[in-house]
Structure 1
Amino acid sequence: MILGIDVGGTHTDSVLMQDRKIIRKSKVLTDKNDILGCVMRATQAVVTPDDIRKLKRIVLSTTISTNAVAQNQLEPVGLIVMNGPGVSPRDLPLFDQAHFIAGYMNHRGIEAEAIDEEELAALKQQFGNDKIDNLAIIGKFSTRNPVHEQEVSAFFADQATHVSLGHHQSGVLNFPRRIATTYLNSAIWRLHSRMIAQLESYLHELGADVPLFILKADGGTIGVKQSRLFPVQTILSGPAATIMGVLPFVSKNGDSVSIDIGGTTTDIALFADGAPLLEPKGVEIEGHKTLIRGLLTHSMALGGDSHVQVVDGKLQVGPERKGAAMAFDGPVPTPTDALIVLGRASIGDKAKALRAMEGLAAELKQTPQQVAQAVIDTMCASIAAKVQQMIAEVNSKPVYTIHELLEGKTLNPQQLIAVGGPAPYVADQIGELLVMPAVVPENSDVINATGAATARTTVELNILADTESQELTFAEDGKKVRISSRTTVDDVVDIGRERLIEIARAAGAQDEDVEVEVADCQSFNVIHGYSTTGKNIRVRLQIKPGLIKHEPSNTAQV
């Protein structure tokens, strides 16, 4: 059995699954001030004491990290940056919060400027005075040689409670994005760690001694021990859960679009020949451009509980959510009330929903039914327009899926998959506006929880090999191995594949779900004088994202 839990902005959904089928499901209201309580209630709603002994896997998709960034509830971070020459500090992200220090590696990982320990000592005293014990340390070319980051970290070891190092976050070269990613990793570290500790304590009390995973932005899972080191990877896991949930229903022989209509927002995703699209450089959240590998989604502030009001004589739907629909004793009219008045949804108190529309009708001098229809028409038109806008934006640049770059691809979706509470009542209308058939999968109201429950564990590994120096470096942890001057690209891929499989197993992946892909591969000649003296080989490998093939058969700790 597998337990999947998705903590959404409005509801926390849970599913108990066996053999990829839902045994029980539940929805409880999300209390943003008590995420642990939401998880506890969602678990108790679907799991019996007897089920606990049969559990093989628990996966959680949570908004806690995303909300912390969106609401700027971030912990103070001692941000230390070694930028070297060639870029002005003012052109780098978080310039006003960063401490720029000496120390520089060149593009080949050779030290060009040493660290100044007197400078570090002064900074250490400043952090002590300011009671800052959470650090982020980033060097420009640390993915080529992390020694400076490691030396600075060691200098603060007796004072810092936590340190995030830039080269650990991603092996991809992009200094500004690495700064933002490392900063966010530290800024949410304590919040994330506290949540994980509470969850582990709760599961221990339940007697559920099984692996606990967190969903990442790329639609894969990460074991809780690893997530404590890389909490930033769990940002935007909610939209990723939707994509993994709808994946079994996506046509493999064409392009598709999915919409997840929640109470607060609607999330849109695109699929090319059955594969979800990927943010090629990394996701962006609240202006922070990161190196976090993530699925491409667009979110709009429009959902079933959006506030409907008359503004300057015109109907306005959203963007705020004031609470539940008036049919469920909420404070203001919503699209859910409109659906009830139109007879599309047989839920809630119809008399209260009617009163919600009557208030708007009086202002617009229309009947409640006319206003209700206008509310739904506005909602559906807004969602359809956003979908069309997203398709146009994607087609204006190269198309990347979670598997590959599709050269010359023009996305032309022919299928709409709609999920979320309001989906069954508006899917056909949105499909008509987009001129494509709409599909509402079974159990679409808890699709995020099923997506989380069945997602694979995914990891990435970046490798740099220099045959002149006969050295190979694993960018994410800085580990080095000796290689031959005759090492080829294929040799590097083979070395990386073996290492990636080890990392994936440590992260909780089952062997049958470990499918290694070469995501990127480049080879450059190293020229000294007028002759080639070696090769610079760069390889990026990943575990192919997707859904688990079978339920786990063991309870290894992750």
Structure 2
Amino acid sequence: MIIGIDVGGTNTDAAIVSDEIKTIKLPNEAGIGGILKEISKEANLIEEKVVVSTSWPLNLIISKFSESRTLSLVIPGPGLNYSEYGEVLKGYVNHRGDVVEDIDEYEIAAIFRENSYDNVAISSKFSVRNGSLEDRVAEIVRNYVEDYRIALSHYAGGMNYPARIHTTVVNAKIRETVYRLTELIKAYAGDFYYFKGDGGIVPYTIALNNPSELYNSSPAAVALGAVYLTGEKNALVVDIGGTSTDFVEVIDGMPKIVEGIELAGRKTLIRCVDSVSIPFGGDSVVENGKLVPVCSKPIAFGGESFTLTDALNCAGYEIGDYRSSRKYECDVEKALNQFVSLAATTVREIGCKKIVGTGYLAPYLIPEVAKAAGVEYVIPDHYESANAVGVAVSRVSLTLYVRIDTEKCFAAYNGHTESCPFKPGSLPDDEQILEVAKEKVVEVAKKFGASEEELGKVRTVYFNSFTVVRGGMKRGVIADVIVQIEPGIRYGGL
């Protein structure tokens, strides 16, 4: 039995997946605690595997990006001007992963004497090859800021230093929110997993160090849920939520992925599904017969504003307290046509032959959208909670950044140094190096509780190696490798 939870903009969905599927939907007013209490009536949260998807901490911070006072401490090394990225500190880790210059503790203390900050991002240029300087700076910063408000760049990975700096700033801004959410979930479920924006899951301990991986997790979840529930490998998933409608293209059974998205005007290292959204959903308010990008609880569910959901009730459907919706006079045809036209236009622009409709309004709107777009459609069982189903059936997915230097007998995994897996001065070939990297990422995944059957294929994302020659003699090999346990669906589908 697996329990999947997706915290959306309006509702929180849960799916309990075993031989059968049971779903639960609650308004967000009930909180994550409310849904966990409901699940506990059906399953033992401590004994079963729990996976949680939520984009809202990141969405909340991005909408108020400048309101959070973030101190960005950068350690670029000599000869590089990175003052536009933050406070430049002394210290340097070179390209080989050697600490060439140490940090200045008094320099860091002086910064905090002058100002106070909500959170701190620490980024050293070559920290993915040796993160020790970042760790030392963090030890000092903890005298002024709580640990859950500090983010280190070597957890974000990637050699693009400016993008890694900005990713670390994003992580610093959201880390406290994700930490507090984690503590709340642990009170009910014990150890659990977070669902990432690329469709994989990671232990919460890993997500806490790189929480920006949660970005766009809800569209990723609904795409995997749609594939699992329908068996469709190539389609466009149209998810009609409360605040918006998301469109996610599925290719060969997996959602389309985009690398290095921009947030707050700067490139990051975030990898997530490539989704398109329109700002209308079931809670969108109708004013003068027209949908406006403002959300409110529908009258049919105890609210006071006339919404798209209420318009559907006036058109003859029976959603919630439909009689209350029909007490209001409104040009519903105009509002419904507006939604259908915009959604159909988006479908045509993306291009597809079939759409999979999900979200609680799917049965009422998807047939009209498909007709207007000239495509086929399918609406699966559990359409209203396909997002939570996708979370429950997803696989563990980890990315490992590996640096091996046999001349120095040195290895680093995501910035943490260890003894080299090869003898000093040895000359392993590419296949041997790749095998070590792949074995290591599987070892890490199993350390966090992943079983063999949960793990997907390990793919090589990046590989580069060269032989070190000094004095005409081969002294060793240096290799940079990025490997990933691919995300995907744990089971074959229904």
Would you say the 8 A contact 1:75–1:188 is kept in 2?
no
Query: 1:110–1:476: structure 2 CA closer, same or farther, 3 Å change rule?
Result: closer
* Deviation of 1:197 (Å): 1.7
Q: What one-letter code is carried by the residue in structure 2 that aligns with 1:22?
A: I
Question: What does the per-residue CA deviation read over 1:521-542, in whole Å, with 9 as the maximum and x for residues that have no partner?
Answer: 3335468799795654322111
Give the equivalent residue in structure 2 for 1:184: 170
Distance 1:476 1:347, change over 3 A: same
Counting only pairs closer than 5 Å after superposition, residues 516-531 of structure 1 correspond to structure 2 as 516-525=457-466
Structure 2 CA distance for aligned equivalents of residues 169 and 452 of structure 1: 23
AA aligned to 1:341 is C
The equivalent of 2:203 in structure 1 is 223
Alpha-carbon separation, structure 1, partners of 2:404 and 2:47 = 43
Deviations for 1:420-477, whole angstroms, at most 9, x for unmatched residues?
Answer: 0111111122223333211111111011111122222211111123455454332343
Matched, 1:258 2:197: no
- Which one is further off, 330-339 or 120-129? 120-129
Distance 1:40 1:349 in 2: 26
Within 1, Cα distance between the matches of 2:315 and 2:216?
A: 34
State the alpha-carbon separation in 2 of the partners of residues 325 and 155 from structure 1. Answer: 51
Separation in 2, partners of 1:149, 1:275: 36
CA contact (8 A) 1:15 1:22 kept: yes
Kindly, what percent of the aligned residue pairs are identical? 27
1:288 deviates by: 5.0
For residues 88 and 332 of structure 1, the distance between their equivalents in structure 2, rounded to whole angstroms, comes to: 53
2:442 is matched with: 501
Secondary structure of 1:51 counterpart:
coil
CA distance in 2, matches of 1:376, 1:229: 44
**Partner Cα separation in structure 1 for residue 250 and residue 309 of structure 2:** 28
Say whether the 8 Å CA contact 1:326–1:337 is kept in structure 2: yes
Question: What pairs with 1:181-330 in structure 2 (closer than 5 Å)?
Answer: 181-201=167-187, 203=188, 211-249=191-229, 255-281=234-260, 283-310=261-288, 316-321=290-295, 323-330=296-303
User: Is residue 45 of structure 1 aligned with residue 38 of structure 2?
Assistant: yes
Deviations 1:277-322 (A, max 9, x none): 11223x4444453213322222321111212224xxxx6423121x
* Number of residue pairs matched by the alignment: 486
Corresponding residue for residue 92 of structure 2:
104
Quick check: 1:457–1:508 contact (8 Å CA) kept in 2?
no
Normalised TM-score (structure 1)? 0.78
Q: Per the alignment, in what secondary structure is the counterpart of residue 188 of structure 1? A: helix
Give the 3 Å change call, closer, same or farther, for CA 531–379 of structure 1 in structure 2: farther
Distance across 2 between alignment mates of 1:376 and 1:87: 56
- For residues 138 and 402 of structure 2, the distance between their equivalents in structure 1, rounded to whole angstroms, comes to 23
Q: Which amino acid aligns with 2:393?
A: T
1:333 matched to 2:306? The reply is yes
Q: 1:330 and 1:440 mapped to 2: Cα distance?
A: 28
Q: 1:527 to 1:53 in 2, by over 3 A?
A: closer
Q: Secondary structure at the match of 1:259?
A: strand
What residue in structure 2 maps to residue 364 of structure 1?
none
CA distance in 1, matches of 2:370, 2:216: 26
More divergent stretch after superposition (215-224 vs 120-129):
120-129
Choose which of 496, 510, 523 in structure 1 pairs with 2:451: 510
Counterpart of 2:74 in structure 1: which amino acid? Answer: V
Flag the 1:388–1:471 CA change in 2: closer, same or farther, 3 A: farther
Q: Whole-Å Cα distance in 2 between the matches of residues 423 and 215 of structure 1?
A: 24
In 1, Cα distance between equivalents of 2:319 and 2:193:
34
| Distance of 2:355 and 2:184 partners within structure 1 | 39
Q: Output the aligned Cα RMSD.
A: 3.0
- Aligned AA (1:440): I
Shift of 1:81: 0.5
Deviation at 1:222, TM superposition (A): 2.2
Assess if the C-alpha contact under 8 Å between 1:431 and 1:437 holds in 2: yes
What is the one-letter code of the residue matched to 1:89?
Y
Q: How does 1:394-433 map to 2 (within 5 A)?
A: 413-433=352-372
> Structure 2 CA distance, aligned partners of 1:501 and 1:236?
25
- Provide the C-alpha distance between the structure 1 equivalents of 2:477 and 2:183, rounded to a whole number of angstroms: 46
2-structure distance, mates of 1:116, 1:349:
64
> Does residue 398 of structure 2 align to residue 459 of structure 1?
yes
Aligned positions of 1:25-174 closer than 5 A: 25-31=23-29, 37-48=30-41, 51-52=43-44, 55-72=47-64, 75-84=68-77, 88-89=81-82, 95=85, 98-110=86-98, 114-115=101-102, 117=104, 120-127=105-112, 130-132=115-117, 134-156=119-141, 158-162=143-147, 163-170=150-157, 172-174=158-160
- Secondary structure of 2:416 counterpart: coil
Contact 1:471 1:481 in 2 (8 A): yes
Task: Name the SS of the counterpart of 1:52 in structure 2.
Answer: coil
2:443 counterpart letter in structure 1: E
Show the counterpart of 1:18.
Answer: 18
Deviation string for 1:148-203 (max 9, x for gaps)? 32343344455553242211221x211122112212222222222222222222x1
Q: Tell me, in whole angstroms, the C-alpha distance in 1 between the residues paired with 2:200 and 2:45.
A: 25
- Structure 2: gaps spanning 5 or more residues: none
- Residues 297 and 304 in structure 2, CA contact (< 8 A), matched pair in contact too: yes
Going from structure 1 to structure 2, the CA distance change for 1:68 and 1:294 (only over 3 Å counts) comes to same
> Which structure 1 segments of 5+ residues have no match?
32-36, 360-370, 392-411, 551-558
TM-superposed deviation, 1:89: 3.0
Which letter does structure 1 place at the counterpart of 2:101?
Answer: A
